[in-house]
Structure 1
Amino acid sequence: MPDLKPSITYDDFTRLDIRIGKVVEVQPFPRARNPSYKVGVDVGADGIMWSSAQITNYDPAELLGSLVVCVCNFAPKNIAGFTSELLILGAKNAEGKVIVLSPRSEVAAGEPVY
């Protein structure tokens, strides 16, 4: 288990735009260095944003329509010629597979996380 990171202020936290998104498209991403998908996420009024996500332990059909927790205001990042606009949050399980974080109940796409 990694050590805790240094403390930040609540104001630091509020600068993150963490929202609920709905996965609307999953495409293969063979050019990525690590096995990944290109994932289109509906983040509400701002429309569809794209992510390069190392979540290939999921079948694309399993991801479609699922709700995810994502950070929407990181600067875009070029990954193997693809612009990743958001970060889908997850955590590794005991087998080292990334488990996508999602709400326990139905929440509208675009709802902020706080």
Structure 2
Amino acid sequence: MNDTKNNELAWSDFTKVEMRIGTIITAEIFKEVKNPAYKMQIDFGEFGIKKTSAQITKLYTPEELIGNQIIAVVNFPKKQIANIMSECLVLGAIGENKEVTLIAPERKIKDGTKIG
């Protein structure tokens, strides 16, 4: 069991994390990376379209991702991943076999909506 006491955040730390709803508009196999991943573009409404990659190939195909809404952190610094600059972090739950299940809203909501 993890000791969460040592990892506690102050409320002010949590409020700095900007999580927003976005719709995946493109998804394709990311051939340039070592571990299987997809590169995607996600529409965050008034916050723009952001690029990212995600190691979510065990449970999803690129075709079934397009049009789905997800939750992502949009205020991390940009990060170079192979030949793209990742601009957000898609959130998911990591299963026992390292498969990632995306976290998504239960119903359609406006892109860019803040999670709080």
Shorter-chain-normalised TM-score: which range?
Answer: over 0.9
> Any unmatched runs of 5+ in structure 1?
none
Which structure: greater helix fraction?
2
Provide the rounded CA distance (Å) in 2 between the counterparts of 1:64 and 1:32.
21
TM-score, normalising length: structure 1 = 0.92
Residue 48 of structure 1: aligned partner: 49
Shift of 1:2: 4.5
Identical amino acids, percent of aligned pairs: 37
Provide the rounded CA distance (Å) in 2 between the counterparts of 1:95 and 1:86.
24
Shift of 1:93: 2.5
Corresponding pairs, count:
114
Provide the rounded CA distance (Å) in 2 between the counterparts of 1:21 and 1:42.
5
Residue 15 of structure 1: aligned partner: 16
Residue identity opposite 1:35 in structure 2: P
Residue 34 of structure 2: aligned partner: 33
Please state if 1:75 is matched with 2:82: no
Aligned structure 1 segments of 4 or more residues deviating by more than 4 angstroms: none
Aligned alpha-carbon RMSD (Å): 1.4
Which string of whole-angstrom CA distances, capped at 9 and with x for unpartnered residues, describes residues 67-100 of structure 1?
1010001000001121111000001234431000
Shift of 1:61: 1.2
Structure 1 residues 27 and 2, CA gap change in structure 2 (3 angstroms): farther
> Alignment partner of 1:62: what SS?
helix
Provide the rounded CA distance (Å) in 2 between the counterparts of 1:52 and 1:76.
12
After TM superposition, the structure 1 stretch with the greater mean CA deviation from structure 2, 101-110 or 5-14, is 5-14
Residue 66 of structure 2: aligned partner: 64
Provide the rounded CA distance (Å) in 2 between the counterparts of 1:37 and 1:13.
28
